[in-house]
Amino acid sequence: MSGTIVGATLRASWKQILYWGLGLGALGLYIDFIASSPDIISGYAELLGSMPPAMLQAFGASDIALLTTSEGWIVSIFVSEAAIFLSVFAVLAGLSITANDEHSGLMDVILSLPISRAAYMLERWLGYALIGFAIVLLCALITVAGMMGLNVDAQTDVIFMSVMNLYPGTLLVMTVTCLLSTALRRRAAAIALSAAFVVLSYIFNIIGASASGAIADLMERLSYFSYVHGEDFVLGVYDPANTLVVLAAALIGFALSLKLFTSRDIGI
Amino acid sequence: MASESVLEIQGLSKTYGSGKKQTLALKNLDLKVNRGEIFGYLGPNGAGKTTTIRLLLDLIRPSAGSARIFGLDIRQDSVEIRRRIGFFPAELSLWEGRTGKQIIHYVASVRGDARGIVKHADELAERLDLDTSKRVRDLSSGNKRKLGLVIGMMHSPEFLILDEPTGGLDPLVQQTFHEMMDEYRAKGRTVFLSSHVLSEVQAICDRVGILRDGELKAVESVEQITNVEFNWVDVKFRDAVPADLRRRLESVPSITNVSANGSRVRMRIVGDIDPLLRAISGGYVEMLHVEEPSLEEIFLAFYSGDEEKRS
């Protein structure tokens, strides 16, 4: 692995990092602005408090008391919204690893160069993993800077870590899309199934957190959202093992993608 | 002493799909291409030319058989092989948002020794009259193909695999391309050139393999292929076709398939055109157009009646 492909991927995508990072950062600033006004937060919390638990979960909050604090507000509302937007990025990035180039015929030119399929896919995956990390980092920095600028009453390290905790899930969705597009070789089908993966994970998380029983527990465990709760940092119950589970799932997905990509025909 | 083979293919087959949708794209191909020769791989569209090339590049995997380039296995040693070969795909796709220069630098960096490669790429671009400062999306299809040729040749590969390289190039650039191929041959390098245009293969190649329906039907020298050549000739008279012209034309042994329509007459002629000129001398000829036979026609001629005539 020479790093040439990683470098080229990053150079070609710096605008993508900027646009996504600034876009999500702007959302973070908006949430910061609301969080700087206790009256708005309490009014909103009151509104959500009148809703059933499942609806509350859908808005990204599991604990109504948490929503009455600036810290809890930012983590519950912003992080859950940003997770959805980052899922869109992750699906697009997953397709960009190899599927788009294969679909356009560019892969024929790339793989006529002295680089193995495995090395190419690995470098592309690393490139997009770094792009995803840079976007989440930029988003976290803007959100934290907004908090400081607006004098929001919240711990910056907690908010920063909560936002950065979006990264493992983003990496997982990106890898799942890469795996699906490698296996199915149809971009539309890969997009549809990746979207289904995100939506079902979101729904499973809502149901799992708002209902009780074995099935609900299982559904929650099957949702990657349940492993990357931003609220865990606020509540002080963050468990690194959860992050490791998501990262391990992403690595397994990538290993499967690699196996498929290196063993099948290209571009047929 | 036998010539050293750069490419050796043994029993190479490729089947696409499975079950009832199974298609045999290439059947039991055996072929050798020697060092220093320009080998034309001739066949109509869908004959299996691109499938062969994609197999050689390890883009697709054979259903049976094997192939070696420089004595290296196309599956096991594909990276080393690709280090030493250049490739131009029939359906060229490039990074639309990047400039030619950016693409050249990128490809050169993947190949290593970027400085030397880029210098040679600049020379090739100048020779092909290509502006590398433009983005690919702003290039005409002909200029995109020029860029494809630069990318395929900029590292001075020992073995060049070209899939329908000159389609979309203007005649002047095609001439430059032919000169480049002559230089390749003079330097002892090898070219595997697929085409469905007989005249191109005639102009460039030393030997020709004829592929049809996934099967290699013959490997011949260009001279042998040329011997079976015939042409279609259209003659347009100022007035109606002379009454006895058809009879006169049909009496010429080398002329067949005569058809007349108004002031035009069309025929198939093998060999010299002089007997035709003598036969039509009675009328006022406005235009005479000689048309090269299609590859399919050459193929049929090569394997039917004209084959007997040739031998």
Return the C-alpha torsion angle B19, B20, B25, B26, nearest 10. Answer: 60
**What integer is the mean pLDDT of A36-47?**
80
Give the distance from residue A4's alpha carbon to the nearest chain B alpha carbon, in angstroms.
Answer: 6
Nearest to B6 by CA among B43, B31, B40, B23: B31
Asked if the ipTM is above 0.85, the reply is no
- Say if A236 is an interface residue toward chain B (CB within 8 Å): no
With beta carbons under 8 A apart, name residues in chain A contacting B85: 112
> What's the CA gap between A106 and B199, in Å, rounded?
29
- How distant, in Å, are the alpha carbons of A96, A182, A183, B49 from that of A265? 18, 11, 11, 17
Give the distance from residue B2's alpha carbon to the nearest chain A alpha carbon, in angstroms.
Answer: 30
Contact state of A108 with B54 under an 8 Å Cβ cutoff: yes
Contact state of A115 with B79 under an 8 Å Cβ cutoff: yes
Q: Which residue of A has its CA nearest to B151?
A: A109
Contact state of A4 with B54 under an 8 Å Cβ cutoff: no
Contact state of A114 with B110 under an 8 Å Cβ cutoff: yes
With beta carbons under 8 A apart, name residues in chain B contacting A100: none
Averaged pLDDT score across all residues of chain A? 89
Q: How many beta carbons lie within 10 A of that of residue B251, not counting itself?
A: 10
pLDDT > 70: percent of chain A: 95
| Residue B15 contacts residue B23 (beta carbons within 8 Å) | yes
Contact state of B93 with A104 under an 8 Å Cβ cutoff: yes
Contact state of B80 with A114 under an 8 Å Cβ cutoff: yes
SS (H, E, C) chain B: CCCCEEEEEEEEEEEECCHHHCEEEEEEEEEEEECCCEEEEECCCCCCHHHHHHHHCCCCCCCEEEEEECCEECCCCHHHHHHHEEEECCCCCCCCCCEHHHHHHHHHHHHCCHHHHHHHHHHHHHHCCCCCCCEHHHCCHHHHHHHHHHHHHCCCCCEEEEECCCCCCCHHHHHHHHHHHHHHHHCCCEEEEEECCHHHHHHHCCEEEEEECCEEEEEEEHHHHHHCCEEEEEEEECCCCCCCHHHHHHCCCCEEEEEEECCEEEEEEECCCHHHHHHCCCCCEEEEEEECCCHHHHHHHHHCHHHHHHC
* Nearest beta carbon to residue A106 from set B59, B82, B94: B94
Q: How many beta carbons lie within 10 A of that of residue A188, not counting itself?
A: 9
Contact state of B92 with A109 under an 8 Å Cβ cutoff: yes
State the burial class of residue A34 (Cβ atoms within 10 Å of its Cβ: 0-12, 13-18, 19+): middle
Contact state of B98 with A104 under an 8 Å Cβ cutoff: no
Only one residue has tokens 């912003």, namely A78
With beta carbons under 8 A apart, name residues in chain B contacting A116: 78-79
Contact state of B82 with A2 under an 8 Å Cβ cutoff: no
| Residue type at B125 in one-letter notation | A
- Say if A50 is an interface residue toward chain B (CB within 8 Å): no
Contact state of B91 with A104 under an 8 Å Cβ cutoff: no
Q: Do the strands B207-212 and B38-42 form a parallel or antiparallel pair, or are they unpaired?
A: parallel
Only one residue has tokens 């876009």, namely A23
Only one residue has tokens 């045999």, namely B24
- Say if A240 is an interface residue toward chain B (CB within 8 Å): no
> What's the CA gap between A126 and A123, in Å, rounded?
5
Query: What is the dihedral sign for C-alpha A40, A42, A43, A48?
Result: positive
Q: Dump pLDDT digits (tens) for A73-98.
A: 888 888 888 999 999 999 999 999 99
Contact state of B82 with A112 under an 8 Å Cβ cutoff: yes
Give the distance from residue B154's alpha carbon to the nearest chain A alpha carbon, in angstroms.
Answer: 12
| Residue type at B169 in one-letter notation | L
DSSP assignments along A185-243, one per residue? --HHHHHHHHHHHHHHHHHHHHHHHHS-SHHHHHHHHH-GGGGS-THHHHHT---HHHH
The pLDDT of residue B224: 77
* Nearest beta carbon to residue A266 from set B59, B85, B91: B59
> What's the CA gap between B179 and B181, in Å, rounded?
5
Q: Dump pLDDT digits (tens) for A155-205.
A: 899 999 999 999 999 999 999 999 999 999 889 999 999 999 999 998 888
Q: Which two tokens stand for residue A39?
A: 């009256």
Q: Do the strands B64-69 and B5-16 form a parallel or antiparallel pair, or are they unpaired?
A: antiparallel
- Say if A264 is an interface residue toward chain B (CB within 8 Å): yes
Q: How many beta carbons lie within 10 A of that of residue B224, not counting itself?
A: 15
Nearest to B63 by CA among B33, B32, B26: B26
Contact state of B79 with A104 under an 8 Å Cβ cutoff: no
With beta carbons under 8 A apart, name residues in chain B contacting A5: 110
Give the distance from residue A27's alpha carbon to the nearest chain B alpha carbon, in angstroms.
Answer: 29
The pLDDT of residue B242: 84
State the burial class of residue B115 (Cβ atoms within 10 Å of its Cβ: 0-12, 13-18, 19+): exposed
| Cα B103 off chain centre by | 26
Q: Which residue of B has its CA nearest to A104?
A: B93
Return the C-alpha torsion angle B200, B202, B204, B207, nearest 10. Answer: 130
Give the distance from residue A176's alpha carbon to the nearest chain B alpha carbon, in angstroms.
Answer: 24
- B42's CB contacts (< 8 A; 6+ apart) are B194, B195, B196, B198, B201, B208, B209, B210, B211, B225, B295
- B30's CB contacts (< 8 A; 6+ apart) are B9, B10, B11, B12, B216
Q: Dump pLDDT digits (tens) for A210-247.
A: 778 888 888 888 888 888 887 888 888 889 999 999 99
Contact state of A268 with B60 under an 8 Å Cβ cutoff: yes
Nearest to B161 by CA among B173, B144, B149, B169: B149
pLDDT one digit per residue (tens) for chain B, 311 residues: 456 899 999 999 999 988 888 899 999 999 999 999 999 998 888 889 999 999 999 999 999 999 999 999 999 999 999 999 999 999 999 999 999 999 999 999 999 877 789 999 999 999 999 999 999 999 999 999 999 999 999 999 999 999 998 887 888 888 899 999 999 999 999 999 998 877 788 888 999 998 888 999 889 888 777 666 688 999 999 988 888 888 899 999 999 999 988 899 999 998 888 999 998 887 899 999 998 776 667 766 666 544 444 44
Q: Do the strands B230-237 and B285-291 form a parallel or antiparallel pair, or are they unpaired?
A: antiparallel
Contact state of A264 with B61 under an 8 Å Cβ cutoff: yes
* Nearest beta carbon to residue A106 from set B59, B78, B93: B93
| Residue A245 contacts residue A221 (beta carbons within 8 Å) | no
| Cα A76 off chain centre by | 15
Buried/exposed B166-188: b ≥16 CB within 10 Å, e otherwise: bbbbeeebbebbeebbeebbeee
- Say if A118 is an interface residue toward chain B (CB within 8 Å): no
The pLDDT of residue A268: 66
Give the distance from residue B93's alpha carbon to the nearest chain A alpha carbon, in angstroms.
Answer: 5
With beta carbons under 8 A apart, name residues in chain B contacting A115: 79, 82, 110
